[in-house]
Structure 1
Amino acid sequence: MPTKLAAALFGTGMVSLGVAYHAVPAWQLPLLLLAGLAAILMITVGIRRHRPDSRVPWHLLAVAVALSAIGTTASRAGPAAERVLASLDEIGVGIMLAARPLLAVTLFWFVRLRTGGRRDRGGLLDALTLTSGMALLAWTFVIGPYLRHADLSADEAWVTMAFAVGDLVCLALLTRLLTTPGRGGRAALWLAGGILALLLTDVVTLVSFREDVAFLSAFGRIPLYAAAGLAAMSASMTELTRPAAAPSAELGRVRLALLALASLAAPAVLVFQARVDGGVFDLNVVAVLSACTFLLVLARMAGVMASHRQAMARERGLRGASAALVSAADADEVGDAVRTAVAQLLPADVPHKVVLAMAFTEPEQPVSPEAAAQSAHDRSTGTTARLVATREVDWAVAVRLTQFNTVLRCPLVLKDRPTGDPLVGVLHVGGPSWALRGLQRTLEVLATQIALALERIALSEEVTRRNSETYFRTLVQNTSDVILIVDDEDRVRYASPSAVQVLGAEPVGVRLPDIIHPGDRLRLADVLASVRGGAGTQQGLDFRAVGRRRTEVMLEMHCRDLRADQTVAGLVVTLRDVTERRQLERELTHQAFHDSLTGLANRVLFADRLQHALARGVRDSAVVGVLFIDLDDFKIINDTLGHAVGDQLLIAVAARIAGALRADDTAARLGGDEFAALVENVQDPGAVEETATRILAALAEPIVIDGESLQAMASIGITTTPEADTADALLRQADLALYVAKGAGKNQWRRYQSHLHDVMVQRLELRSALDHAVNEGHFLLQYQPIVDLETDEAVGFEALVRWHHPSRGVIAPDQFIEVAEESGLIVPMGRWVLDQALHTVAQWRRILPRARQPYVSVNVSVRQFRQQGFVDQVRASLDYAGVPPQALMLEITETLLMGDDEQIWADLAVLQDLGVRIAIDDFGTGYSSLSYLRQRPIDVLKIDKTFIDDMIGSAQQHALVAGIVSLAQTLNLTVVAEGIEDATHRQMLAQLGCPLGQGYYYSAPLDPTEALAWLRAPMPLAAA
């Protein structure tokens, strides 16, 4: 029987039962029971026919109808069956009372299914608020008057209260069910009508205060049974067990009006009772229910504000997502933006996963029937988000969302797309169903933006593709590379326009081997055969060919087999003219292994040839020798005569070194003025020594540059394979031998000896100890007097540094100054000497009378003077010690004055203007020039001890010293003679007019206290 016909017959039957129930009082109980059984039957039939998602609430509804029918029949049959069962009336009332909670459970189950477990706090608060208002009205106008006026026992009063509470709970749950979003259809209306009829008859029964209207209460069950049956037979009965759409965050006008009426119930009741009844009854009940209503309304308003804040947060998330989608350059970036947006739109810590499925646009792409059906449905529904079971989506998406039971599926649809298909893709979001329902509307808005972003990217890619086609077509027409298509007979079928420019003639119709140089044709044939044989693309191959003007060009070839491509049907050969590049590569390779100035091998090539020479030496049992060559005093020439002259000197030296070697040997420039020679294929080390002798002899001849004759002397260090068998060891030993040769007086060679390693180790240990001494201050100063040769009175002291070594005692400066210079430790050491000397002379000047206050002379190294800020350091030291600048003399060497460094001269001038005197130490042993004595800020000349030692027995030395003294007097310079050892030296210097002197004749270097005592002695001569 059709469902609609069965429902119509059932409805007609229930109406007939109702009429008979009213017309024939004697049949009331059987008719009431029959109505209940008919409703149960219809509920069972409706469940089987419509198959709702959950059958539990409908079965509960059937049980509630059964209990109601049985309980009502039992309670009404009590007087008639009093002799059979005296307590039947009470049992019936109990069964009827049990039907109320079961009906409430049924409604609660429907509410739970409709909300899908969603946290719809607002709907619950609305239902409770309305119920609270209705409860107040019911108590005021129904329950309260009934309890006050009816003659009830305590048990009857409690039963009445239980029925009233049950009715209010059912009313609250019915209100909650009806306030869920969406419509439950006719089934919900039938169910609501039946429950309201039941509640209305209960109210009428209580208001009447009469026993003869009790039949009306029983009669109210018939609409409930009829409504339950009709609701179950309605096709919309399945909607009551399906989740409804997410509730709106906004508070509608109708709901707001109902909440307002519920809130006004309490004051309305108070006004009514005061006006009509002349007093307020049950004030406590009114106050409690009024407070509950007020608190519920406040909670609802708080929920509205929270929903508003959540809506604002989602709006911000959508704005951020819009910005990210606008800037997305490809589908991956769109996916990242969507995942970020969904994470921001969902509540925190909600597990979820996003899958963005693109629509299939290529006809050859396989599509399952299920996916095709879904796509057709998506095109028809547009961007409406639907909550579906995970098993209902396409398997390719479902396998990625297996951890979730429900998926929010939102199609990405754009109308009027250029492709004609409105479906761009589908957005899937897996997660808890309650969270996904709250995301539905927001996701629909986001879906449109996603679709626009994907369409924009697709259109951009299409425009780029078309532009690329035009670009590559133009590129082929204008590229300098030659693009050829060669057929199976090696004949050129197509050539790009640049072929004539590169090859000098049109190659179309010509066989490719005829274009290539005859010497490379056999290799070309192998390459073409290899490509045709499936070897893949051949690239980076160089071939020679005859180009324009019959010149030979170098072509780089790339060959690819595209015979299977019908648009090409041949080999694609690309030729690029790399003639200039290959020439440049050869030049760069030469530069990488040769010195650009001299043309000799550089350090890299020298090391490589050394490795090969060692291998050949082991194979042939030959000796390999390495020579390190360093020009002596090249820096002086370079600084004095200029870098241009220095470069020409290096070129000439390189030529002479190469000329002194055999054809099998290698000459190299390692850098600066350092050269090296590799001697191989000799039978004994003596041949290597002979090579060093030839090199020194070749360099002994003067070299004329720009008309000026220059002497290029060199020091050479030698080592051979008998001393070492590895390249690193040979290089290290040659360097040590060179160091010994330079220390031995230069312009000579030295061969590596095993003890040189120990010397170098000692030197490194000395350097390490010196570094520690500088940091710890293990130095002391001694002072040697500078004496007026006429009066023999001290006018000053030279500060001489000594190293107080913890194990070796006091070390003289000639044993560590050179190491300090090399390591740079001379700078902090010199700073300490200057400060300590000024501190000492300051103490002397405070003790001694003004007439006998000496000055102090401090040696300054070249490296220390060139240190930035040296002048400021001297000024600061003077200020700190409280010594006038006139009490300080700085001794510099002639090496500092070589070259044309204006900064050096400027610093010397500043110091002289400050009052500090400048002395040239060891004058005459180095770069002696009259020009700098006349033009530069020099105050004192100190004659070296070597001149003083020989002036007694050598007339020439005596004349030389006399000339220096006379020259100084002419230039108004003061002279200090160093190394006065006896009275004869003093007498001769005094006769020559030398004003000042120092040496052991007067005193050895003294400690500060000894020097002060020496100053106070009446006759400070050592001879005395």
Structure 2
Amino acid sequence: MTVDKAIDKTPPIVSAQASVKEAIALMKQTQVGCVLLVEQQKLVGILSERDVLKLIDSRQDWQEIAIAQVMTQNLVTLPVKDVADLSSLLHPLRQHCLEYLPIVTEDNRVFGLVTRATILQSLPPKIAEAIDTSARLKQELEAYREIEEELRINEQALQLNQNRLDSILSSIEDVVWSIEPYSLQLLFLNTAVEQVYGRKLAEFIENIELWREVIHPEDKERVEEALNALYSTGREELEYRILLPDGESRWIRVRARLITDEEGTPIRINGITTDITERHKIQEQLRHDAFHDGLTGLPNRNLLIDRLKQTIRRSQRRDDYRFALLFLDLDRFKIINDSLGHVFGDRLLVSVAHRLEKCQRAGDTVARFGGDEFVILLEEIADANDAIQIANRVQNALKTPILIDNQEIFVAASIGIVIGNSRTYPNPEQVTDLLRDADIAMYRAKSRSQGNYEVFDPSMYTYALKRLQLENDLRRAIVRTTSPEATQPEFSVYYQPIFSIATQQIEGFEALVRWQHPEKGTISPVDFIAIAEETGLIVPLDRWVLKTACYQLRAWQAQFPMPAPLTMSVNLSGKHFYQPGLIEFLDSVLEETGLDGSTLKLEITESIVIENTEAAAVMLKQLRDRKVQACLDDFGTGYSSLSYLHSFPFNTLKIDRSFIKQLGMEEENDEIVKAIVNLGLILRMNVVAEGVETPEQVAQLKDLNCHYGQGYWFSRPMNGEAMTEFLLGAIEG
């Protein structure tokens, strides 16, 4: 074969932008095992069948890839000027173990293509076989070298990955372990075991039973059960305690997985152990917080209810089992809290809680029910005397003043007591009834006096229901009366005249509220004023009475002009001292009615002044600025302190009817009345005697120089229309 015949002058040529798919099609068409790639008519690369096979193994999208991305670029070429004979063609093929040798011109254009197969066909069979064998051996040697290099690279990568894995396993806080499934011999264990278990890693290697030995005795059985279950479930997760060398317990969570071979035979157990002690402490704290009061640390309402249910269930199992519930409410705590601040009030509650805990017996529960309310649950008592004894113990414990910031605070508690057994509270769901009854008894104790207790009986519940109904009726009645759209008011104002004892002339009136219930008829103020006070309904009721009385007084002053204008006394509840707006309301009433403030008298009791000293001082000054007079009502029944009489700008002193009723019957009582009148005279205050019912009482009051009197002897209270007729008769008389 000549050189010209050995060189294919029309080899398959494609653009470098062609796809691999197009190149393969050209190979099939030309029956040549490669294609030459040209760009701007110059050779830039070659793509052979061998290259395509490698590409197919490594890429799924091989057909659409541009040849330029996968072609052999640093190819061996032979300049056409160096072509002399077949030997000059064979030499580079053998030297570089090539299958294909492009022949190029000086400017790198394609001249032709020589294939090793074409050259070998032109040689004698033995020479061709030798050359082919040599080339094949070189190719295999090159392949072995490639494999060896690939193995070396893989080993390096494997070692790097192993080092990284060891580093990761050594740095994580969880214990990573692997053991043989039957002997439990350690296969792997990272260094985190030292931090979690407090023992050296070597100790676990030397003693394969150590992990079992450190399990908390109370948890060993659960751990063994989980380990046995692992062989059937394949996965187990368990939380249990371990003991550290110093005896401290620690909570861990173990997640284990059984690894099997293709036939399902266990080959190892892999697992991760996590220290969950802190999480467990947080959970315990959350559980504690859910059932304990955050301020005092006592059991809260939730825990109390749970224990009450348990107690009722216990009583169901024993007919002779009795228990008691003491419901405590601190008296006057709101005044302390409002005057000294909530922080001070909280510290007081904590101190009270500590004292209550000292009063309980073993097995009893002291709980904070909410606000200033506490509950004591007494388990297994003999009778009510046991509960009363604890109630007395509580009262005695609270008698000693509590010292906070060098300030002594005196507190007392009203206590409601309920005695329970399987007959009175047979159902655990009656906890609400039990607490309700204790609350009812507590309010009954509070109504008697401060620092008292009361044992519940069923009649109290009946009374409470009636009282609740009366409260609801009271709310509706106030709305029906005070609403601008009211057409059938249930309340009305009655007026009782106040007479000058010296002249027997009318000086003024006291406004008294009356309630005509549409179904129950007349309801005494004794029955509803206390409820109005407790619920705060007294505020809108007082304002309505004040406004109504001012309108009526202004009308009488216009109808019956006198040298000294008629006056009106209106009772004022202490609730007004806790709510803003009274002075603004008073200003609007005086302006709206045109009434001179000097003819209006507001009556307040001694307790209001004592319990609200600062607020009372401010309000009394504001009243004086408006020339509104202040009357001290029911003097002698409360504190009867001379200091506030001198300190506060009172204009009038009213002697309570209880003293007037006994006037002339007991010498001691007469002296008290005389002392009150003289006190008023000394302080230049007007003195009014309430509840005057006999001419003898009038005579005695006149002898004592008491200024004014009111009572049935002078006149019963009347509505506005009747009082107008009374005034007409009095003037005519």
- Whether the TM-score (by the shorter chain) exceeds 0.5 is yes
Q: Give the conservation status (yes or no) of the 8 Å contact 1:715–1:741.
A: yes
Secondary structure at the residue paired with 2:271?
strand
Q: How far, CA to CA, are the matches of 1:590 and 1:485 in structure 2?
A: 35
Q: Aligned-pair distance for 1:882?
A: 1.6
> 1:845-890: per-residue Cα shift (whole Å, max 9, x none)?
1112141421211112223443332221111122111212222222
> 1:292-350: per-residue Cα shift (whole Å, max 9, x none)?
xxxxxxxxxxxxxxxxxxxxxxxxxxxxxxxxxxxxxxxxxxxxxxxxxxxxxxxxxxx
Q: Give the conservation status (yes or no) of the 8 Å contact 1:625–1:679.
A: yes
Structure 2 CA distance for partners of 1:418 and 1:757, relative to 1, 3 Å? farther
2:589 paired with 1:869 = no
Equivalent of residue 610 in structure 1, options 277, 283, 308 = 308
Q: How far, CA to CA, are the matches of 1:714 and 1:829 in structure 2?
A: 28
Alignment-derived partner of residue 270 in structure 2: 571
Alignment-derived partner of residue 403 in structure 1: none
Structure 2 CA distance for partners of 1:664 and 1:823, relative to 1, 3 Å? same
Alignment-derived partner of residue 344 in structure 1: none
Alignment-derived partner of residue 108 in structure 1: none
Alignment-derived partner of residue 514 in structure 1: 210
Alignment-derived partner of residue 495 in structure 1: 190
Counterpart of 1:692, as a letter, is I
Q: Aligned-pair distance for 1:611?
A: 1.3
Alignment-derived partner of residue 981 in structure 1: 693
Alignment of 1:578-593 (within 5 A): 578-579=277-278, 581-583=279-281, 585-593=283-291
Q: Give the conservation status (yes or no) of the 8 Å contact 1:542–1:557.
A: yes
Q: Aligned-pair distance for 1:924?
A: 3.5
Counterpart of 1:538, as a letter, is E
Q: Give the conservation status (yes or no) of the 8 Å contact 2:253–2:276.
A: no
Aligned residues: 558
Alignment-derived partner of residue 88 in structure 1: none
Higher deviation after alignment, 669-678 or 833-842: 669-678
Secondary structure at the residue paired with 2:592?
helix
Equivalent of residue 323 in structure 2, options 605, 610, 625 = 625
Q: Aligned-pair distance for 1:593?
A: 3.1
Counterpart of 2:652, as a letter, is V
> 1:16-38: per-residue Cα shift (whole Å, max 9, x none)?
xxxxxxxxxxxxxxxxxxxxxxx
Q: Aligned-pair distance for 1:694?
A: 4.7
Q: Give the conservation status (yes or no) of the 8 Å contact 2:216–2:241.
A: no
> 1:118-149: per-residue Cα shift (whole Å, max 9, x none)?
xxxxxxxxxxxxxxxxxxxxxxxxxxxxxxxx
Structure 2 CA distance for partners of 1:902 and 1:740, relative to 1, 3 Å? closer
Equivalent of residue 799 in structure 1, options 511, 519, 528 = 511
> 1:878-919: per-residue Cα shift (whole Å, max 9, x none)?
211121222222222334334567555434432331222222
Equivalent of residue 420 in structure 2, options 712, 720, 743 = 720
Q: How far, CA to CA, are the matches of 2:607 and 2:379 in structure 1?
A: 40
> 1:241-275: per-residue Cα shift (whole Å, max 9, x none)?
xxxxxxxxxxxxxxxxxxxxxxxxxxxxxxxxxxx
Q: Give the conservation status (yes or no) of the 8 Å contact 1:719–1:730.
A: no
2:237 paired with 1:538 = yes
Structure 2 CA distance for partners of 1:858 and 1:529, relative to 1, 3 Å? same
Structure 2 CA distance for partners of 1:505 and 1:880, relative to 1, 3 Å? same
Alignment-derived partner of residue 960 in structure 1: 672
Structure 2 CA distance for partners of 1:713 and 1:521, relative to 1, 3 Å? closer
Q: Give the conservation status (yes or no) of the 8 Å contact 1:557–1:575.
A: yes
Counterpart of 1:536, as a letter, is R
Q: Aligned-pair distance for 1:779?
A: 1.0
Q: How far, CA to CA, are the matches of 2:402 and 2:522 in structure 1?
A: 49
Counterpart of 1:571, as a letter, is N
Q: How far, CA to CA, are the matches of 1:418 and 1:603 in structure 2?
A: 77
Q: How far, CA to CA, are the matches of 1:831 and 1:416 in structure 2?
A: 99
Secondary structure at the residue paired with 2:692?
coil
Question: Which consecutive unaligned segments of at least 5 residues does structure 1 have?
Answer: 1-362, 381-413, 421-468
C-alpha root-mean-square deviation of aligned residues, in Å? 4.4
Q: How far, CA to CA, are the matches of 2:684 and 2:194 in structure 1?
A: 84
Alignment-derived partner of residue 598 in structure 2: 886
Counterpart of 1:495, as a letter, is N
Q: Give the conservation status (yes or no) of the 8 Å contact 2:417–2:456.
A: yes
Question: Which consecutive unaligned segments of at least 5 residues does structure 2 have?
Answer: 1-55, 72-160, 262-266, 481-488
Alignment-derived partner of residue 143 in structure 2: none
Q: How far, CA to CA, are the matches of 1:1003 and 1:809 in structure 2?
A: 23
Alignment-derived partner of residue 136 in structure 2: none
Structure 2 CA distance for partners of 1:693 and 1:510, relative to 1, 3 Å? closer
Alignment-derived partner of residue 252 in structure 2: 556
Secondary structure at the residue paired with 1:816?
helix
Equivalent of residue 767 in structure 1, options 451, 455, 471 = 471
Q: Give the conservation status (yes or no) of the 8 Å contact 1:559–1:574.
A: yes
Structure 2 CA distance for partners of 1:733 and 1:803, relative to 1, 3 Å? same
Q: Give the conservation status (yes or no) of the 8 Å contact 2:193–2:200.
A: yes
Equivalent of residue 392 in structure 2, options 681, 691, 696 = 696
Counterpart of 1:602, as a letter, is N
Q: How far, CA to CA, are the matches of 2:294 and 2:652 in structure 1?
A: 45
Counterpart of 2:531, as a letter, is V
Structure 2 CA distance for partners of 1:518 and 1:829, relative to 1, 3 Å? closer
Alignment of 1:69-108 (within 5 A): none
Alignment-derived partner of residue 463 in structure 1: none
Q: How far, CA to CA, are the matches of 2:575 and 2:185 in structure 1?
A: 74
2:371 paired with 1:675 = no
- Which has the larger Rg? 1
Q: How far, CA to CA, are the matches of 2:454 and 2:535 in structure 1?
A: 24
Secondary structure at the residue paired with 1:960?
helix
Q: How far, CA to CA, are the matches of 1:789 and 1:915 in structure 2?
A: 25
Q: How far, CA to CA, are the matches of 1:850 and 1:486 in structure 2?
A: 109
Equivalent of residue 729 in structure 1, options 425, 433, 437 = 433
Counterpart of 2:370, as a letter, is G
Alignment-derived partner of residue 486 in structure 1: 178
Q: Aligned-pair distance for 1:782?
A: 0.7
Q: Aligned-pair distance for 1:840?
A: 0.5
Q: Aligned-pair distance for 1:699?
A: 2.1
Secondary structure at the residue paired with 2:235?
coil
Alignment-derived partner of residue 524 in structure 2: 812
Alignment-derived partner of residue 152 in structure 2: none
Q: Aligned-pair distance for 1:534?
A: 4.1
Secondary structure at the residue paired with 2:563?
helix
Structure 2 CA distance for partners of 1:881 and 1:527, relative to 1, 3 Å? same
Counterpart of 2:248, as a letter, is E
Secondary structure at the residue paired with 1:797?
strand
Secondary structure at the residue paired with 1:725?
coil
Q: How far, CA to CA, are the matches of 2:244 and 2:610 in structure 1?
A: 60
Q: Aligned-pair distance for 1:1007?
A: 1.8
Counterpart of 1:978, as a letter, is E
Q: How far, CA to CA, are the matches of 1:415 and 1:759 in structure 2?
A: 99
Higher strand proportion, which one?
2
Structure 2 CA distance for partners of 1:530 and 1:623, relative to 1, 3 Å? closer
Equivalent of residue 362 in structure 2, options 636, 646, 663 = 663
Q: How far, CA to CA, are the matches of 1:948 and 1:507 in structure 2?
A: 96
Structure 2 CA distance for partners of 1:615 and 1:521, relative to 1, 3 Å? closer
Alignment of 1:710-859 (within 5 A): 710=410, 712=412, 714-721=414-421, 722-726=423-427, 727-744=431-448, 749-776=453-480, 777-859=489-571
TM-score by length of 1: 0.48
Alignment-derived partner of residue 705 in structure 1: 402
Alignment-derived partner of residue 451 in structure 1: none
Secondary structure at the residue paired with 2:633?
strand
Q: Give the conservation status (yes or no) of the 8 Å contact 2:624–2:649.
A: yes
Q: Aligned-pair distance for 1:773?
A: 1.8
Equivalent of residue 996 in structure 1, options 697, 708, 718 = 708
Q: Aligned-pair distance for 1:836?
A: 0.8
